[in-house]
Structure 1
Amino acid sequence: MNQVIEFIDQAAFVWEKGGVLMPALGLLAVYLYYLSFDLWLRLHAVIPSDLRVFPRERWDAFKGGGRVDRILRYCLADHRDQKETQRRFDQVRTGETSFLNRRLRFLFVLATSAPLIGLLGTVAGMLRTFDGLSMQDSYKMDLVAGGISQALVTTQAGLLIAIPAIALIHLLNRRKKDWLQCINRLESLSLRQVPSPIAR
């Protein structure tokens, strides 16, 4: 319990030393990781754990609900035409790719903005330091020390937010490729179940 209290005290001290930009970095971190983990959970819910056996051996697992079931019902509903099935799968794949690419680009912009906000805090801290150096009264060293603390803390906070976020975005990009691969496997199996115009 004492360690938790000590951690909270240290976090509050660092937050105070970071200056006025720490709330902006805090909100950015919360929003960035909320969107990242939300996308991760969405992809995790629809991608099978074993892609090698998907979907032939687990086709029935997706009947009765879920994103995969809705895709299958849309692409195979009310027609028996391979071209129409393929067109619908192309439409689904294009829509999914567009959504995921937009979300990943937005997450990357948020992640790369964290060090820039930290750099802004560095500039503000250095300006505060120079203001302290130009003073002649007894508060000179307090302003210098506070400016250096602000410069270092905001830079560190920006990097601590951005580095794990970029790694998480890389993992999300891999999950995106797995999801598109699932759609391709669904299309391949679905086309085998729909008779071709020549066969009819």
Structure 2
Amino acid sequence: MTQILDLWNQATLVWEKGGILMPTLAVLSLYTYFIAFDLWFRLRAIVPRDLQSFPRERWGAFKGGGRINQIMHYCLSDHQDSRETKKRFEQVRLMDGSYLTRRLRFLLVLATASPLIGLLGTVGGMLRTFDGLSMQDSYKMDLVASGISEALVTTQAGLLVAIPALAFSHLLKRKKKDWLHCINRLESISLRQIKNLNPSL
């Protein structure tokens, strides 16, 4: 309990040293990671954990609900036409793919904005430091020290938000490629199923 209290006190002290931009960085970090985890769970709901063991013939494996089941129902409902199936899978790729691309780009924008806000805090802290150096009273060193702290803390906070977010975005890009591979595999299985039901096609 004492360690938690000490950690909380240190975090509060760092927050106070960061100046007026710390709430902005906090809100930005929460929104950034909300988008990142939202994308992660969306992709996780579609992409199987092990693509190497992705079932080719076990048709019942896709009927357990979720997004895969929705895609299969949309692409195969009320028809046994391979051309219509291809058309609907292409629509899924375009609609879902464009959504994922937009969200990934927005995530990159948010991640890039974090160090820039930290840099803005650095400039503010340095200006405060120079103001302190120009003073002649006894509060001079306090103002200089607080200005340097603000400059360093905001820069560090911006980088702490941005670096994991950028790494997360690259992981999500890789997950998006797995998603595309998954959709292509579903299309292949669907076309094979139609061909088995209608050998004359």
Q: Which letter maps to 1:93? A: R
1:194 CA drift (Å): 1.9
Q: Which letter maps to 2:146? A: G
SS at match of 1:95: helix
Map 1:5-44 → 2, pairs under 5 A = 5-44=5-44
SS at match of 2:200: coil
User: 2:138 & 2:51 partners in 1: Cα distance?
Assistant: 68
1:169 aligns with 2:169: yes
% identical aligned pairs: 67
SS at match of 2:35: helix
Q: 1:58 to 1:10 in 2, by over 3 A?
A: farther
Q: TM-score, normalised by structure 1?
A: 0.95
Instruction: Determine if contact 2:115/2:155 at 8 Å carries over to the other structure.
Output: yes
1:59 CA drift (Å): 3.2
User: 1:179 & 1:195 partners in 2: Cα distance?
Assistant: 24
Pick which of 117-126 and 42-51 moved more. Answer: 42-51
Map 1:128-167 → 2, pairs under 5 A = 128-167=128-167
Runs of 4+ in structure 1 displaced over 3 angstroms?
Answer: 195-198
Q: 1:151 to 1:70 in 2, by over 3 A?
A: same
Q: 1:77 to 1:24 in 2, by over 3 A?
A: same
Q: For structure 1, list consecutive stretches of 5 or more residues without a partner in the other structure.
A: none
SS at match of 1:49: coil
1:198 CA drift (Å): 9.4
Partner deviation per Cα, 1:35-91 (whole Å, 9 max, x = no partner): 111211221122112212323255323214210011111111111211111000000
How many residue pairs align between the two structures? Answer: 200
Q: Which letter maps to 1:199? A: S
1:169 CA drift (Å): 0.7
SS at match of 2:69: helix
SS at match of 2:13: helix
1:199 aligns with 2:200: yes
User: 1:151 & 1:11 partners in 2: Cα distance?
Assistant: 17
User: 1:58 & 1:27 partners in 2: Cα distance?
Assistant: 46
Q: TM-score, normalised by structure 2?
A: 0.94
1:115 CA drift (Å): 0.1
CA RMSD of aligned residues (A): 1.6
SS at match of 1:79: coil
